[in-house]
Amino acid sequence: MDSQSDSTSATESEPLASAGTGERFSITTRDVSLWYGDFQALFDVTVNVRPGIITGLIGPSGCGKTTLLRSFNRINETYGNVTTKGEIRILNKNIYDDNVSLSELRKSVGMVFQRPNPLPISIYENIIFGLRVHSKRGDLSRKLKDEVVESSLREVKLWDDVKDNLKMRATRLTLEQQQKLCIARLLPLKPRVILMDEPCSALDAGGIERVEELIRSLREKATILVVTHNMAQARRATDECIYMLMGKIVEHASTQDLFLNPKSKDTEMYIEGRYG
């Protein structure tokens, strides 16, 4: 696989969710390297990510963890002049196969960003936005939309707060509510993988606790990868951790083993706060 920018066009698209039921790993990479122009950000990354758990990506700033995360839905390519080599398989489907469109990929692999990014439309329309994009005209009845909105907001524990104000502009919500809404916006599409890039960094302590609880509640429905700089958060909110340094994976283990018995001196120095 060798991609340049957003140039790979799909033929007839195939949902990723149809290609990996019962697989041992939700994500596998083999010798993935990535360049932004002449700058190499990832070096021969090989990793397996298991379903049904929360996997943390940790490491000092600039180590490549966000680049790796964004490789899984090919969003890096939107920046232009990006070259990727190696193989990335999600739900046992190579995401660079000709019959995998970017639209289908990003339907199955949802993304939550560091700063909440609700659309500047109503709460109600935020929730059904993805369904509108991926559904044929006339497929969405008012009853179905109402049910989807309520169930999605209930799942993120936001329904009671907003049920009487669904027409309110979503950007008027608190930051915590906005981030919950951004997660709820993914749920109608039933993503099999959810990528989270520092999802709690804009929140206060109470908001962090509640969003972490929400993330844990979703792990049986989707494979979840979380980038975090917060070692306390990584320790309490993830099941496995991948430690990266200078674009390479140094160590991948259960969170407990990585924090209590790191095999690499580099990992030990980082989690003890001696650099990064």
Kindly report the pTM of this predicted structure: 0.89
For 25, what's the count of Cα atoms within 13 Å in the CB-facing half-sphere?
14
Per the domain annotation, does 276 fall within a domain?
no
Q: What is the pLDDT of residue 17?
A: 53
Which residue range forms the structural domain that includes residue 53?
Answer: 2-271
> Which pLDDT tens digits describe the chain residue by residue (276 residues)?
554 444 333 334 455 554 444 578 999 999 999 999 999 999 999 999 999 999 999 999 999 999 999 999 999 988 889 999 999 999 889 998 888 888 889 999 999 999 999 999 999 999 999 988 888 777 789 999 999 999 999 999 999 999 999 999 999 999 999 999 999 999 999 999 999 999 999 999 999 999 999 999 999 899 999 999 999 999 999 999 999 999 999 999 999 999 999 999 999 999 988 775
Per the domain annotation, does 84 fall within a domain?
yes
Q: What is the pLDDT of residue 2?
A: 53
Q: What is the pLDDT of residue 78?
A: 87
Q: What is the pLDDT of residue 6?
A: 41
Per the domain annotation, does 243 fall within a domain?
yes
Q: What is the pLDDT of residue 22?
A: 57
Q: What is the pLDDT of residue 20?
A: 44
* CATH code for the domain of 141: 3.40.50.300
Q: What is the pLDDT of residue 1?
A: 56
Give me the number of domains the chain comprises: 1
Q: What is the pLDDT of residue 198?
A: 95
